[in-house]
Chain A
Amino acid sequence: MRSFFTFAVVAIVGCREPDGERVALPGGSPGIGFDDLRYSAALDRVLAPGGRSGNLYLIAPDSLEIESIGGFSTEEAYDGGHDFGATSVDEGGGRLYVTDRTTRTLFVVDPASRAIVGQAPLAAGPDYVRWVEKTRELWVTEPSGDQLEIFALPEGAVDPVSVAVIPVDNGPESLVIDQRAGRAYTHRWQESSLVFDVVSRALLAEWPNGCAASRGLAIDAERGFFFVDCSEGTVSVLDTRDGHVLSTEARGSGFDVLGYDEALQHLYVAGGACGCLVVFGVSAQGALSFLERFDAPASTHCATADQQGHAWVCDPDEGQLWRVNDDAP
């Protein structure tokens, strides 16, 4: 019945408002080129690098209280892309780490004082930054240089120091760290994913990932699953032991940054081409099951999970976020 109802409504109306609760951000208008979207369990905040706004936004998942940390590149106009200012963030070792694409700088932020306390220049335009607990390093993807750049940040230091570069031909796209196993996962732009040892920095494996256009990734370290989404709308689960594909689903399209809720074992993928947020369940065997589809902004391409039953979706054209309640079992 629901399908027939949806069919009739779409036929008559043609387009729909995004589902969820709108989270307007200070300085968000006329738009923000969101890319990376994270949740910090230590801070209990959703972390949203604010592109041209010059801010990193910290949002309380329940109260929706918003704090802004400024000091990054700013610009009045929004050009519709996500190549300006702060676009990636991670949290670890009591600090926040932010990359600024305009100044090609890696910033270290003290979350207590809400201030930038350190920085380092990057060798090439950055995409993602991730904290590696085991080595106290920051790994930064630099696709414009076809490389990963690695920064050391010893205990007590505030300015990261570039210590190594790992060439990644036709990449790297996206980055996730399995802190427990000491592995870093990234993509080549098409068809495969790479696994690195974070201590030796050696390439351990390259796995076919089922994508024509590789985009987002995530891991379930506890259960040994590596999740991949593709721009064309395919989502796959790979076994972290040997990279074999456990499950593949295909719903929606235009996916990029994905979110995963380890408690619910739900995967969230958002795409502008479909104007949708799709929720998948992940079984103990790694099988994907479609749970629900929500309407999302037509400019969206990023999602995250706050581990409290909400998915978060970026809305670049409006410079805001949407919080969506995930009530699926």
Chain B
Amino acid sequence: MRREPIAWIAAALALSSEARGHEPQLDAGAAIAWAFPVGAAEEGTELSDATVGLVPITIDLEGRVAPRVGIGLLVRYGVGIPTMCGSAGECTASLGSDVLLAARARFVLPDLGPISPRAGVGLGWEWLATRFADEDARASRLRHGPVPLVADVELALTPAQGWTVGLVGGAALGVFVDRQVDTAYGSASVPAADLAPHAFIDIGVRVGAAW
């Protein structure tokens, strides 16, 4: 059973050689999603303590290195929705952010009827900022660290030649290696004593173009 996905990809790569002459060389896309926080930002702090989730916008660009394999970069900027705020102004000021920069390989899998499935896997680095506002007072925590696994699956339709629209789901699994606590009297940067894993698990919509 474990070999099945690998065999599937290998078969897809072999079959793709037939169509090499017609395959586009570049793919680009933009996605919007909702991302659920899971796991710990550090020992004693769940990721969900400060944010109920992200609204990430992802831009990706990849070049084909084989007919059904692309390698590229993605940048994700997520707006962090705070767990606590007392008024509209405080909620706006308490919005956080999560930035992910990742390198990714993406595979075009065999079509399932009209659906063109794609799967991506990569790694990157993440910067998370959570914020809190009470009246005019502000506090924030900044964390960053490696994301050793960025994985996603897209189920795409092709409404027009060179264009795709698809449902996309994925996860970015990482750890934070450093945090900075900003308060009214100053800030302190502290290396994380305990590397606790966390993930943002997202589901959304992607629009892609290929040429």
Option from B42, B48, B183 in Cβ contact (under 8 Å) with A210: B183
| CB contact list, B1-55 vs A, under 8 A | 38-40, 42-46, 48-50
Interface range, B side:
35 or more
Which one of A3-11, A42-50, A302-310 contacts B?
Answer: A3-11
Which one of A110-118, A231-239, A313-321 contacts B?
Answer: A231-239
Q: Which residues of B contact A254 (CB under 8 A)?
A: 83-84
Is A212 touching B133 in the complex (CB atoms < 8 A)?
Answer: yes
Is B139 touching A211 in the complex (CB atoms < 8 A)?
Answer: yes
| A258, CB-defined interface residue at 8 Å | no
Q: Which residues of A contact B197 (CB under 8 A)?
A: 3-4, 7
Q: Which residues of B contact A278 (CB under 8 A)?
A: 44
Separation of A254 and B85 alpha carbons in the complex (Å): 10
Cβ of A290 to closest chain B Cβ, rounded Å: 5
A-B contact count (CB 8 A): 107
Is B137 touching A213 in the complex (CB atoms < 8 A)?
Answer: yes
| B111, CB-defined interface residue at 8 Å | no
Q: Which of A10, A236, A254, A292 has the most CB of B within 10 A?
A: A10
Option from B38, B83, B139, B199 in Cβ contact (under 8 Å) with A234: B139
Is B49 touching A252 in the complex (CB atoms < 8 A)?
Answer: yes
| B134, CB-defined interface residue at 8 Å | yes
Separation of A210 and B188 alpha carbons in the complex (Å): 11
Q: Which residues of B contact A6 (CB under 8 A)?
A: 39-40
In the complex formed, the residue of B with least CB distance to A192 is B184
| A104, CB-defined interface residue at 8 Å | no
Separation of A10 and B198 alpha carbons in the complex (Å): 11
Is B49 touching A248 in the complex (CB atoms < 8 A)?
Answer: no
Cβ of B82 to closest chain A Cβ, rounded Å: 9
Q: Which residues of B contact A231 (CB under 8 A)?
A: 84, 132, 134
Separation of A276 and B44 alpha carbons in the complex (Å): 9
Q: Which residues of B contact A251 (CB under 8 A)?
A: 42, 44-45, 49
| A75, CB-defined interface residue at 8 Å | no
| B141, CB-defined interface residue at 8 Å | yes
Q: Which of A209, A213, A254, A290 has the most CB of B within 10 A?
A: A213
Cβ of B38 to closest chain A Cβ, rounded Å: 5
Given A4-B197, A191-B137, A212-B138, do A10 and B46 touch, yes or no (CB 8 Å)? yes
Separation of A151 and B39 alpha carbons in the complex (Å): 50
Is A211 touching B84 in the complex (CB atoms < 8 A)?
Answer: no
| CB contact list, A181-239 vs B, under 8 A | 189-191, 208-213, 230-234, 236
Option from A10, A211, A234 in Cβ contact (under 8 Å) with B39: A10
Cβ of B173 to closest chain A Cβ, rounded Å: 9
Cβ of B186 to closest chain A Cβ, rounded Å: 8
Q: Which of A11, A231, A253, A254 has the most CB of B within 10 A?
A: A253
| A245, CB-defined interface residue at 8 Å | yes
Is B50 touching A212 in the complex (CB atoms < 8 A)?
Answer: no
Given A248-B181, A273-B84, do A212 and B40 touch, yes or no (CB 8 Å)? no
Is B50 touching A233 in the complex (CB atoms < 8 A)?
Answer: yes
Separation of A160 and B42 alpha carbons in the complex (Å): 49
| CB contact list, B131-188 vs A, under 8 A | 132-139, 141, 179, 181, 183-185, 188
Cβ of B192 to closest chain A Cβ, rounded Å: 11
Q: Which residues of B contact A211 (CB under 8 A)?
A: 137, 139, 183-184
Give 14 CB contacts A-B under 8 Å: A7-B38, A7-B40, A7-B198, A10-B39, A10-B46, A208-B184, A210-B183, A211-B184, A231-B84, A233-B50, A248-B183, A252-B49, A253-B132, A274-B46
Residues of A in contact with B (beta carbons under 8 Å apart): 3-4, 6-7, 10-11, 189-191, 208-213, 230-234, 236, 245, 248, 250-254, 271, 273-274, 276, 278, 290, 292-293
20 additional A-B residue pairs with CB within 8 Å, beyond A209-B185, A251-B49: A7-B40, A7-B199, A189-B134, A191-B137, A191-B184, A211-B139, A212-B139, A212-B184, A213-B137, A230-B139, A233-B50, A251-B42, A251-B44, A253-B49, A253-B83, A253-B84, A254-B84, A273-B84, A274-B48, A293-B43
